[in-house]
Chains A and B, each alone.
Chain A
Amino acid sequence: MQKFETLTGVAAPMSLVNIDTDMIIPKQFLKTIKRSGLGKNLFDELRYTENGEENPDFVLNQKKYRNSKILVVGENFGCGSSREHAPWALLDFGIRCVISISFADIFYNNCFKNGILPIELPQEIVNVLMQETQKGSNAQITIELENQMITTSDGTCFSFDIDSFKKHCLLNGLDDVGLTMEKAASIDNFERQSKIERPWV
């Protein structure tokens, strides 16, 4: 997994609430057996017309947002299915950070497994950042994970909270499976005990 230390980039706004994983990556693109190559279909049904042409109204099709690395989005972002194709598509497009009032649980977890930082902030701060995105490519937002700080183009700073274990993994690009494998002895123990207590499992 790619490390996440400091990110500076353009932030694009998507204020719609309840943006679900079907919107982020529609099911016809889940038939892949790979993790890569989904960026071109990120937000497919919003981004392209039925004829496959770009919809000029969609935010990421506008020149100033084409190279966005950050999204500022409406609440409950990523609700719906557990498809990890949603963060894969975001990452493949180049999005490394998503900011919202709230995220759906599974999506939130999936982001961390892919080097994407989802940041939850109170409504007032999200509103300020949403305003900031209006400056388009003139507004570079900087996110520093180590000291948990967001800095806008005019130097305003906001701090954010994050789970310490998730932060540690993201900062160091650690692979969960490897970490858990180190606890193999505890798992063996648990299984031995459980064979006695719940032999039917």
Chain B
Amino acid sequence: MTPKTLYDKIWDAHVVHEAKDDTCLIYIDRHLVHEVTSPQAFEGLRLAGRKVRAPEKTIAVPDHNVPTTSDRSNPEKMTEDSAIQVAELDKNAKEFGIHYYPVTDIRQGIVHIVGPEQGWTLPGMTVVCGDSHTATHGAFGALAHGIGTSEVEHVLATQTLIQKKSKNMKVEITGKLPPNVTAKDITLSVIGKIGTAGGTGYVIEYCGEAIEDLSMEGRMTVCNMAIEGGARAGLIAPDKKTFDYVKGRPHAPKGFQWEAALSWWKTLYSDKTAKWDKVVTLIADNIAPVVTWGTSPEDVLPITETVPGPDNFKGAKADAARRSLKYMGLTPGTKLSEIEIDTVFIGSCTNGRIEDLRAAAKILKGRKIREGLRAMVVPGSGLVREQAEVEGLADIFKKAGFEWRLAGCSMCLAMNPDQLRPGERCAATSNRNFEGRQGRGGRTHLMSPAMAAAAAIAGKLTDVREMS
């Protein structure tokens, strides 16, 4: 038999039809839906008189628009158009009979956190969502990627997608991570190395000792940002940690079905002699806590470095750097650890899971954030929030001076009221530092939860290794 990569194996198990020109119809096992990219798709179904083909494989949760303050179930707390989108999702979920987690449900949260938490995401599945960070689910060895609204409609109607196969890229992280270096530092460092278009046309499989050592939460952080490297999806081969995480979740298989699933899941790895179209290797020991300085996730450097100048780049990248520096209000040569901030955001589908909150709380314990700083923690789901309360993390955050919010996307993309004002500078655990992402004129520095906590204490970007 020809040796296969993990991606090849999952792909092959889902081909419904293959045309002569290699265009395939791929079966979709799970479809996750949120309020922003779905209304037009449901409307399309309605206009054509179509149904949702597999409502039992479809889940919906509002997350992008929802306020994260305690009074949020009052629709008046949302702008009119946000409230309309959430109400539409409500209506569509009911009308088409799909699983739904409204804001009043403790299981509500960011769609990419809810899916794995509820056991909807399983190894070897194909998972799609009208959201680019669907790559997150690749941490389970599921082929997961973002789609546009027309494709959302296509999946709702047919439970399939028209696709051509991507190429295989292996990203190996060898050895062990140094202390205080996290999954976020790995994923940002990979993007720094390959660039935001480095993965275009590929599905990335992350592997190596440092990846195996990560918890499921950490693996989700790594895969989450595969899209920031341009890849269609990120994957990590499932192992005992994956199976342990999945076992017992509400929608995970049980009994003899569990045994059957497990025996298939154990075959899901890349064969030793599988062929890769591209291989990238990073040595874990050389990875440091990193931060971004510009307006692209590839603008990333270890915290010990200084802000680069346009001369460090060539051609169009030099122009982009000039523009970034102007937007970010930074002078080349400034030490990254001297950049003062006024906002801290801990949350998002990249870093809004329990382990992320634990890592931040560990740094914050017994400390206070810098006076005048606005800092908020937005747990990724109601269940993460509850768990953090049980573990006493919420108290640590509150005592340190953080606002303790309800679950949602919040200031990751600022579609709800949580936004930066022009010129405000934020240490953020989210995934995009694009111009205006967290609010018009707002300036974003991406980093790990521990680094964001350290920044909150110091009031400036800080090397967490000096604080722990």
Contact = CB atoms under 8 A, between A and B. Distances in A.
Interface residues of B, number: 77
B422 A176 contact: no
Contact of A181 (B27, B146, B158, B413): B158
Given A82-B130, A183-B17, A30 B36 contact: yes
A114 B413 contact: no
B160 to A, nearest CB: 6
A80 interface: yes
A190 B16 CA distance: 6
A129 interface: no
Contact of A15 (B160, B201, B319): B319
Choose among B64, B432, B436 the residue with the greatest number of A CB atoms under 10 Å from its CB. B436
B233 to A, nearest CB: 10
A16 B150 contact: no
A75 interface: yes
Interface in B53-103: 53, 57, 64-65, 79, 81-82, 84-85, 88
Contacts of B158: 177, 180-181, 184, 187
A79 B148 contact: no
Interface string B112-130: 0000000000101100001
B147 A23 contact: no
A180 to B, nearest CB: 5
A146 interface: no
A138 interface: no
B28 to A, nearest CB: 10
Nearest to B296: A18
Choose among A20, A110, A177 the residue with the greatest number of B CB atoms under 10 Å from its CB. A177
Given A106-B146, A164-B21, A186-B17, A22 B160 contact: no
A20 B158 CA distance: 30
Interface string B229-254: 01010000000000000000000010
Contact of A16 (B264, B319, B436): B319
Contacts of A122: none
B415 A200 contact: no
Interface stretch (A5-13, A31-39, A89-97): A31-39
Contact of A109 (B40, B151, B197): B151
B174 interface: no
Nearest to B431: A80
A34 B82 CA distance: 13
Contacts, number: 183
A109 B296 CA distance: 22
Contact of B200 (A17, A26, A102): A102
A106 B148 contact: yes
Contact of B85 (A31, A103, A176, A199): A31
Contacts of A104: 197, 200, 230
B148 A83 contact: yes
A82 B145 CA distance: 10
Interface in A98-121: 102-106, 109-110, 113-114
Contact of B261 (A110, A164, A200): A200
A119 to B, nearest CB: 16
Interface in B13-71: 13, 16-17, 19, 21, 23, 25, 27, 29, 36-37, 39-40, 43-44, 48, 50, 53, 57, 64-65
Contact of A31 (B65, B124, B150): B65
A201 interface: yes
B434 A22 contact: yes
A50 interface: yes
Given A105-B230, A177-B154, A180-B162, A30 B415 contact: yes
A30 B82 CA distance: 9
B355 to A, nearest CB: 25
Contacts of B414: 27
Contacts of A32: 81
Contacts of A27: 413-415, 437
A113 B196 CA distance: 24
A198 interface: yes
B185 interface: no
B159 interface: yes
Contacts of A20: 296, 432, 434
B324 to A, nearest CB: 10
Contacts of B153: 177
Contact of B131 (A74, A81, A105, A183): A81
Contacts of B434: 20, 22-23, 80
B317 interface: yes
B136 interface: no
Choose among A16, A79, A179, A191 the residue with the greatest number of B CB atoms under 10 Å from its CB. A79
Contacts of B36: 30-31, 83
Contact of A106 (B25, B147, B440): B147
A118 to B, nearest CB: 13
B150 A84 contact: yes
A83 B50 CA distance: 23
Given A28-B415, A177-B153, 18 more contacts: A15-B316, A16-B323, A35-B40, A45-B435, A45-B440, A50-B440, A75-B197, A82-B37, A83-B36, A105-B200, A163-B164, A176-B162, A180-B160, A183-B25, A186-B16, A187-B27, A187-B160, A201-B122
Interface of A: 15-18, 20, 22-23, 26-28, 30-35, 45, 50, 74-76, 79-84, 87, 102-106, 109-110, 113-114, 163-165, 176-177, 179-181, 183-184, 186-187, 190-191, 194, 198-201
11 contacts: A16-B316, A18-B296, A33-B39, A33-B40, A45-B435, A75-B316, A82-B148, A177-B154, A183-B17, A184-B158, A187-B159
A-B complex: 8 closest residue pairs judged by Cβ atoms: A200-B253, A113-B150, A31-B81, A33-B39, A110-B148, A84-B148, A82-B146, A76-B197
